[in-house]
Chain A
Amino acid sequence: MNVQRGVELVVGLFVLAGIAALMVMALQWSNFGASRISGYEVLARFDNVGGLSEQSPVKLAGLTIGRVDSIEIHPETFQAEVRMVIDGKYDNLPSDSFANIYTAGLLGAKYIEISPGGALESLQDGDRITMTQSAIILESVVSKFLFDKAKE
């Protein structure tokens, strides 16, 4: 391989690397960094997920035990159907557990907090958490507060 060819090869690689860097950044990182956890799936419906997204953490007592896998609109109820994967280690969550959407800190990302219930049966793969509380939208809280004040 002569020198000129070597230079051209390196330049070709350089151009490809630059374009690849741009593409990776432009194409939304595809699924880079998504953590795959093996475990069981649980469904929950929320009136409003306000900012929850795929890969948002699912927490129990503040510790991450799973991830949100997908969020879709349920065609009949018009609610958001959240499918989450919970680590197989935590297979004894009571079936009447409660799912809340909270915000980490004042500005942070949204996550689902599971509050354990008291039932003897535990959640199985594909089960649905029926008791849910939607994300708190700051505007609605403020407007509720203002209306209550106005009534007094």
Chain B
Amino acid sequence: MSAGTAKLNVTVAEVKPINELVTRFKFVRTGGGDLPTFSGGAHTVVEMEDGGQTRLNPYSLMSDPADRGAYMVSVRRDDEGRGGSLFMHNNVKEGMEMVISNPVNLFSLDLRAKKHLMLAGGIGITPFIAQMHQLSHTNGLFDLHYSVRTASLGSYAEELQAQYPNRVHVYHDDQDERINLEELLDTQPLGTHIYVCGPKGMIDWVHKTAEELGWPREAVHSEEFLAPASGQPFEVKLAQSNKVIQVGEHQSLLEALEANDVDAPYLCRGGACGQCETTVIECDGKLVHYDHWLTDEQREAGKLIMPCVSRFEGKTLVLDQ
């Protein structure tokens, strides 16, 4: 859905550092009142007014979905990134008013599952915290296996172990602890669904291992938000709105469209949902695809691009926008 629809005005009620990299933010509705309920695994897109630039970053909701009083998200600081997480860490203070989107779930539980097996890496823990809240209200069966770099960087690990004893298993990289995935998958009851959220390598590893062990594709769920990649600036012609726009080095094509008042559709802004898919009318150069949405055949055909993460290198690009 495009900008301007289904937004929530919120006030920052708490900014709490969790460890040296992760800070937690609590939002309440500006002027009071309930926030919408949501389902575990949902994210919200947080709008940031950073100088003259509007940044829109998706963050998984980690609070109890049944708690309509407040939403919580955790943001990991990325010093090499384009600045969204740094803005959250450095500029967002208690009492500040912000705009966030209604919750959107691209990583929802399959409620048919007899058991939910959750595999988290690093900051990928956050959607699972909301899902575990949701499942405990309905006596759902789950296990969480959580891989962290060190104990001090393992956000929420101790709290979760205390809250769900025997269901939460933490693995520390610096102590050479590793999830024994093959054995874990082999010992699950029939009807188990697997959920993985973490670094790309971990997601690929889980999909590949499950496939090799004969798990049905539909029983393995993953979520990975990509941050838009930086790259060479480029120029785009827009056929519908009859504009020529410039995409900056650290700007995504979608952000450039928005900065030029083009009402482009989006949902996840991370190359996953397909909402921003745009038709390429003319391309003299190379489309640089970073999304998870287009198939290999579609990429080869070169007729579609996902402006939220993908870029262009070459002479002329004309989009149906």
A interacts with B: no
